[in-house]
Amino acid sequence: MSVILSTHGLTRAFSGHVAVNAVDFTLNEGEIRALIGPNGAGKTTFVSMLIGRIAPSAGRIRFEDQDVTDLPAHLRVSRGMAYTFQITSVFGQLSVEENVALAARRRLGRDRVAVRAEVEHALARVGLTDHIGQTAQDLSYGHQRLLEIAMGLAQRPRLLILDEPTQGLAENEIAAFKTLIRSLVPDTTILLIEHNMSVVMELADRITVLNFGEILAEGTPVDIHANPLVQNAYLGSG
């Protein structure tokens, strides 16, 4: 299995506080990997460096065997990385259709027929077809999260990074989300930051646990669930 993303010594410090400390991380192509850990463990900082929203203080990032450490976020997107935010980043005044169309145009340009087809395909995958003409700000919070995932899918990413995607979703929407994620692999590799441990345990091939900015443990869901260090640092607290 080939490596799609890796980091070496990835570090980020803020005013003397080390949020992520010398992380070596490897993600295989076609994998669903969950990234978990207590609040403040450095998860969002870590993925923000992966996607190019935050520059590392030290270390390197490779994507599809190319060093992308110094590339701005939009160039990483053009190479096949997509990221959905922990807090929704949809354009509230625009329609559902136009939100997804904006994302699709990054890849397809101004080909209206192709963009429309991509919009319809992405919305169908997340179950929002019936909301295509609705203004995004009028959607429920859960549906806004699904819209953001549709925006990511419209870019046909090689790697999709999802930050707390099930937050605000109803139980039936979570079930549909899990089905959707399984349908994306192996064409799309998934890196999932998620606090819902039932989602993590059901979806992930492997789990990486961050604690105090460092990797505490990695392994299968069974390995992680049984790991006493993880129990003490994270699972045992909730």
pLDDT tens digits for 66-117?
999 999 999 999 999 999 865 567 899 999 999 999 999 988 999 999 999 9
Q: Looking at 156, 174, 200, which one is the last position of a domain?
A: 156
Condensed to tens digits (0 to 9), the pLDDT of residues 156-196 reads 999 999 988 998 888 988 999 999 999 999 899 999 999 89
Domain with residue 47: its CATH number is 3.40.50.300
Residue 1 above 90 pLDDT?
Answer: no
Mean per-residue pLDDT, 219-225: 95
At 62, the amino acid letter reads R
Question: What is residue 181's predicted lDDT score, i.e. its pLDDT?
Answer: 94
Residue with tokens 């990385």: 81
**144 and 180 share a domain?**
no
Q: Looking at 156, 189, 211, which one is the last position of a domain?
A: 156
Total-model pTM:
0.90
Q: Looking at 125, 156, 187, which one is the last position of a domain?
A: 156
Mean per-residue pLDDT, 119-137: 96
Range of the structural domain that residue 134 is part of: 88-156
**210 and 232 share a domain?**
yes
Question: What is residue 233's predicted lDDT score, i.e. its pLDDT?
Answer: 78
**220 and 170 share a domain?**
yes
Is residue 206 a contact partner of residue 199, using CB atoms and an 8 Å limit? no
Residue 168: φ, ψ to 5°: 90, -5
**171 and 73 share a domain?**
yes
Q: How many domains does the chain have?
A: 2
**109 and 64 share a domain?**
no
Residue 238 above 50 pLDDT?
Answer: no
What dihedral do alpha carbons 93, 97, 101, 104 form, nearest 10°? 130
**128 and 168 share a domain?**
no
Is residue 73 a contact partner of residue 52, using CB atoms and an 8 Å limit? yes
118: tokens are: 């991509």
DSSP bridge pairs for 17:
14
Cα radius of gyration rounded to whole Å, the chain = 18
**208 and 172 share a domain?**
yes
Question: What is residue 237's predicted lDDT score, i.e. its pLDDT?
Answer: 46
